[in-house]
Structure formats: structure tokens, C-alpha cells
């Protein structure tokens, strides 16, 4: 099993969400984050333009079976890319174990409902 963390532009979130759904990834966590980077963004506040190196992003956290890793990463890469600096990053980690709290089930089968899962 793998954990994928992706930092993407907030403006690309709906496209990424749709691409993940098409790839069969129907559940993930996300939250808004602010990062500090070398690149700057113009922000308009009360009609004035300010340069900001605080960049608004969205962090996605997805745990997948190994067999789904490549298609999940590719879905994010294709849907989040604008070709401009600041498109984001993807990080992949090994997951040692997963447990479903409700049933106590462990392993890859604990990730999703078995009746809805294609790739156990």
C-alpha cells in the first residue's frame, strides 16, 4: 500500500477530483494549506496589486493499493499540470498497515468496501 500526498493549485482541485474519480479513486482527504516558496503571486486587495510569496494550495492525502499507484499519480499529474511554475508536488510513502476501525479488518482490504472494490 502507498500513501500519496499531493500539493496542488486550489484552482485545479475540481479537475484533479474528477480525474481521480475516473481513475477509480473515490475517497481521499484534502485540506487548504499555505506554502512559502521562491515564486510569487500577484494578489489584488481593494484594487491594489501586491506580490506574495505565500501561495494558496490544497493538500490531498490518498492511500491506495500498490496496483493503483501509477494510475493515481498519472491522474494527478495530468489534471493538475498547467505548465507554469508552482503547479505543485507529489510525494509517495510506503504504508506498513491499514485498519478499518468499524470492523477491525486490516490490510489492503480495509481501504474500501469489498463489494465496491475492483482491485483488492
Domains of the chain: 2-116 (3.30.70.120)
User: For residues 111 and 99, what is the distance between their CA atoms, to the nearest angstrom?
Assistant: 8
Please compute, for residue 75, the number of CA atoms within 13 A of its CA located in the half-sphere on the CB side: 22
Digit-coded pLDDT (tens) for 4-35: 999 999 999 999 999 999 999 988 999 999 87
Digit-coded pLDDT (tens) for 38-93: 766 666 667 777 666 667 899 999 999 999 999 999 999 999 999 888 889 999 99
Output the nine-digit C-alpha cell for 83. Answer: 505548465
Count of other CB atoms within 10 angstroms of residue 9? 19
pTM value is: 0.81
Amino acid at each position: 500500500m502507498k500513501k500519496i500526498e499531493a500539493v496542488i493549485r486550489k484552482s485545479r482541485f475540481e479537475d484533479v477530483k474528477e480525474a481521480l474519480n475516473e481513475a477509480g479513486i473515490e475517497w481521499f482527504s484534502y485540506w487548504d494549506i499555505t506554502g512559502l516558496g521562491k515564486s510569487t503571486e500577484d494578489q489584488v486587495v481593494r484594487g491594489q496589486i501586491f506580490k506574495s510569496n505565500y501561495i494558496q494550495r490544497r493538500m490531498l492525502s490518498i492511500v491506495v493499493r500498490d496496483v493503483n499507484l501509477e494510475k493515481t499519480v498519472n491522474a494527478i499529474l495530468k489534471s493538475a499540470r498547467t505548465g507554469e511554475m508552482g503547479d505543485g508536488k507529489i510525494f509517495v510513502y510506503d504504508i506498513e498497515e491499514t485498519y478499518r476501525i468499524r470492523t477491525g479488518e486490516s490490510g489492503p482490504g480495509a481501504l474500501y468496501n469489498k463489494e465496491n472494490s475492483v482491485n483488492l
